[in-house]
């Protein structure tokens, strides 16, 4: 088989990227259309009403007023109903959720190591074969780890102290450090927190990480708490979306109660 025929055969197996891009824009357009359908319908309706009102004369206004006097109760009821339904729609629609502030945990300088020092500690553990060390070297070089990266203390000590207690200690150090920084920076009180979503890609202990946070900060008893574990790195986006939907639901319930 010639090279050209081989490339042509492989080309048929590739996805149509142009079609994928167009499909993406079609989905975005459909989402925008559904989200703003009420406004798209109101614009032509307002134009029709304004065009009709522009043709009114003084005699038409007098005739309209005379009809209103005899059907005043019906018009008032219809107007109140329309105002109530309009307010109910705008009060119960999903609100936009914004990230106002955030905090990231920064470990102690003692936990900052270079790639070479990390590989040296891995050799000192004497639990890895040469193939394992070569694989680690490739991963360290390709994963974006720099010369000033932070590593867990349990991994860097000789011998490595890989146990559940050290894993819990590391999780608490990161979670509580980030939350303490956030509370100090924003001035938010722990008792004011009503929703808690905790996500960890790999570590999923019992008691859960979310329960550790609730118990450590003495959060209120009726807090809405979710613990996402073992779902990989993509669960970070899932946890953000979950928090967004929970906040939207709470905002709608508050508006309905006020209404």
Banded model confidence at residue 5, pLDDT cuts 50, 70, 90? very low
pLDDT at 18: 52
Q: What is the mean pLDDT of the chain?
A: 80
Alpha-carbon distance of 228 to 204, in angstroms, equals 8
Q: Partners of 113 in the beta sheet? A: 149
Banded model confidence at residue 85, pLDDT cuts 50, 70, 90? confident
pLDDT at 198: 94
Spatial neighbors of 98 by CB under 8 A, at least 6 apart, are: none
pTM: 0.62
- Work out the average pLDDT over 108-114: 85
Alpha-carbon distance of 74 to 222, in angstroms, equals 46
pLDDT at 8: 46
pLDDT at 79: 79
The more confidently predicted of residues 148 and 40 is 148
Alpha-carbon distance of 23 to 17, in angstroms, equals 10
pLDDT at 229: 85
pLDDT at 19: 56
Banded model confidence at residue 111, pLDDT cuts 50, 70, 90? confident
Q: What would the pLDDT profile of 114-136 be if each residue is shown by its tens digit?
A: 888 888 888 887 888 889 888 98
Alpha-helical regions (H) of 146-218? 153-156, 164-186, 209-217
The more confidently predicted of residues 179 and 124 is 179
**Preceding amide of 207 cis, omega within 30:** yes
Instruction: For residue 81, give both structure tokens.
Output: 């109903």
Alpha-carbon distance of 89 to 35, in angstroms, equals 13
Residue carrying structure tokens 């808690």: 196
Banded model confidence at residue 215, pLDDT cuts 50, 70, 90? very high
- Work out the average pLDDT over 150-163: 81
Of 33-37, 45-49, 148-152, least confident by mean pLDDT is 33-37
């Amino acid at each position: 088989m010639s090279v050209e025929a081989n490339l042509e055969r492989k080309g048929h197996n590739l996805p149509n990227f142009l079609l994928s891009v167009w499909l993406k824009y079609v989905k975005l357009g459909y989402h925008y259309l559904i989200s703003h359908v009420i406004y798209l319908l109101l614009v032509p309706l307002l134009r029709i009403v304004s065009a009709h009102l522009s043709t009114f004369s003084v005699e038409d206004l007098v005739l309209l007023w005379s009809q209103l006097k005899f059907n005043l109760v019906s018009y008032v009821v219809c107007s109140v109903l329309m105002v109530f339904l309009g307010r109910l729609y705008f009060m119960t629609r999903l609100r936009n959720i914004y990230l106002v502030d955030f905090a990231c945990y920064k470990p102690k300088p003692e936990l900052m190591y270079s790639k070479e020092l990390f590989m040296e500690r891995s050799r000192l553990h004497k639990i890895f074969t040469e193939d394992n060390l070569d694989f680690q070297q490739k991963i360290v070089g390709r994963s974006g780890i720099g010369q000033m990266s932070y590593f867990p203390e349990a991994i860097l000590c000789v011998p490595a102290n890989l146990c559940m207690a050290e894993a819990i200690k590391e999780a608490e150090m990161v979670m509580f450090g980030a939350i303490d920084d956030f509370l100090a920076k924003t001035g938010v009180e722990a008792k004011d927190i009503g929703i808690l979503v905790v996500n960890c890609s790999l570590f999923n202990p019992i008691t859960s990480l979310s329960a550790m946070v609730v118990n450590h900060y003495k959060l209120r008893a009726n807090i809405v708490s979710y613990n996402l574990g073992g779902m990989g790195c993509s669960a970070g986006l899932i946890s953000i979306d979950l928090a967004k939907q929970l906040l939207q639901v709470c905002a709608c319930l508050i508006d309905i109660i006020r209404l």
